[in-house]
Amino acid sequence: MKRLSLLLALSMCVLLLGAQKPYKWKAPKQPKRPKWEAPKPELPEVIDVWRPYGLADNWFIELSGGASISMAENMSGHDFLKVCAPAFDLGLGKSFSPKWATRLAVSYKKQKGWVSSQVLESMAPLVGDGDYDFKMVSAGLDEMFSITDWLCPYNEKRLFNLQLFVGGGFNYSFGFDDKVKRWYRYGYPVDDSDRVNVYVRGGVNMQYRLSDVTDLFVQGAYYWVDDNYNGVRHSSKSAFDSFADVMLGVRIHLMDHYGDYRYYKVRRWEASSLRGSESKVSDYLNSELQEEYQVLENVEKVAYGELMKTRISFYVDRYFVNDSQMEFLRIVADFVKKHPDVNLIVKGYSGASAKKESPTMHLAQRRAESVKKALLRYYGVDPSRIDIEFDEQAVAPFPMVGEWIDGVVFQMVEP
């Protein structure tokens, strides 16, 4: 009986277990993973730095002519043309930055003087129309400040530039008309002796860029000078006289030691891993370049009609040879000197096909000319062994890297 009861109990357990649904295993939920993306390459950074300039760089000469307008006592009310006299200026200046320059200005000008209206009425038969002439030579220093470059980023291709200037110096009056001696005897106090006075002036210089070398400018200046510069002293001891100049002139920029005429920025690549340490960046770049120089010197071989491995790269829209490229030019110059049986054609290209440089900028021509000029000027290459060619439309034979264009290549030809 006990066995039967136990058997029934086991049967019931088996039936109950068989009636349950079988257990299905489920994997635990996993956190949502972000979609994998390939890391973006970190582009090198473009840094603008000024070329190293020295004391002999960035000088200019100015030549101008115009009119000097007297505003001394007794001049008010007279015909404007009768108070104007010719004036000529010569200037020598140095730019210490695109925003600031110092100029030595030397000028020669005629001036007009006039007797007072009371004397003209009372002594008309003796003084005639009452006017007299004298001459002046002035010399002084001006400090010039470019308002354009203070307000806008510097651009060596900018057509217009506005400069304000202030300065001072010495004014020498001489050459008074002989008739003022007679007037003095009659009682009119005109002192015709030579004299030196101090002057202060301020003005505006507006320039228009004609070329890399030349600017056309219009200049207006206002002078304050001692009262007796015109031979007549006012009753007040603190009085001063004034006159103004309006000049049209030409500014000629002198060549710097790079062979250029304007301020330029050099653009170089900085490795992002070395950012923040200028000395490390410099060491890194120098070591990389030295290895490249050694490789190029070893692989250059004579092959008429083919291109040298060495080429000169330029930043977009630039055509001057920067300091780092001068070593590549040394390799080219050494190659020419070691192989007198080889001449070179310097071929210039622009990046017009990349739509980043316009053919109207004549970059291909300018690049070829600047490279040839550097080879002749700094490395003494015989000019008869260098010819230039350029094509503003063609693509350079080497690909563009970053913002750098291999804009000049060298083809080896027979003499």
Q: pTM for this one?
A: 0.58
CA 311/CA 304 separation, integer angstroms:
16
- Measured CA to CA in angstroms, residue 413 lies from 288, 309, 345, 364, 367 at distances of 30, 15, 7, 20, 20
Instruction: Give percent of the chain with pLDDT exceeding 70.
Output: 69
Q: Residue 347 and residue 339: Cα distance in Å, rounded? A: 20
Inform me whether the pLDDT recorded for 71 exceeds 90: no
Q: CA-to-CA distance for 256 and 324, rounded, in angstroms?
A: 17
Which one, of 190, 191, 193, lies nearest residue 115 by Cα?
A: 190
pLDDT of residue 181: 73
The continuous run of DSSP H or E covering 215 comes out as strand 214-226
* Gyration radius of the chain's alpha carbons: 40
Q: Is the pLDDT of residue 103 over 50?
A: yes
266: its two tokens: 């050099």
Does 210 have pLDDT greater than 80?
yes
Span 296-335, pLDDT tens digits: 667 788 888 888 888 888 877 778 777 667 878 888 888 8
End-to-end CA distance of the chain: 128
What lies within 8 Å, CB to CB, of 51 at 6+ separation is 258, 263, 264, 265, 266, 322, 323
| pLDDT confidence of residue 154 | 83
Rounded alpha-carbon distances, angstroms, from residue 152 to 98, 158, 212, 235: 11, 10, 20, 49
Residues 64-90, mean pLDDT to the nearest whole number: 82
Q: 195 - beta bridge partners?
A: 173
Return the pLDDT at 270: 33
Specify whether the CB–CB gap between 403 and 354 falls below 8 A.
no
d(CA 287, CA 49): 20
Spell out where 51-179 has E strands: 59-70, 84-97, 100-114, 131-146, 160-174
- 1 vs 278, residue with greater confidence: 1
Tens-place pLDDT, residues 119-152:
655 565 666 666 778 899 999 999 999 999 899 8
Alpha-carbon span 98 to 132, nearest angstrom: 43
Report the percentage of the chain scoring pLDDT > 90.
Answer: 28
The pLDDT of 25-44, averaged and rounded, is 57
The amino acid present at 383, given as its one-letter code, is: P
Q: Given this model, what pLDDT does residue 148 score?
A: 92
Name the residue with higher pLDDT: 287 or 411: 411
Per the model's pLDDT, the better-predicted residue between 276 and 241 turns out to be 241
CA distance 287 to 324: 12
User: With 0-12 CB in 10 A as exposed, 13-18 as middle and 19+ as buried, what is 166?
Assistant: middle
Residue 262 and residue 156 in contact, taking contact as beta carbons nearer than 8 Å? yes
pLDDT of residue 355: 56
SS3 of residue 189 by DSSP = coil
Mean pLDDT of 250-269: 78
Residue 4 banded pLDDT, cuts 50, 70, 90: low
Convert the pLDDT of each residue in 363-415 to its tens digit.
888 889 989 988 888 888 898 999 999 888 777 777 777 667 778 999 999 88
Q: Residue 241: which of 28, 74, 63 has the closest Cα?
A: 74
Extended beta strands in 337-385, E state: 343-349
Q: What is the pLDDT of residues 149-173, one digit of tens each?
A: 899 888 878 899 999 999 999 999 8
Nearest to 82 by CA among 93, 74, 90: 74
CA pair distance 246, 229, nearest whole angstrom: 20
Burial of 276 (0-12, 13-18, 19+ CB in 10 A): exposed
Tokens standing for 326?
Answer: 């001068």
Confidence of residue 81 (pLDDT cuts 50, 70, 90): confident
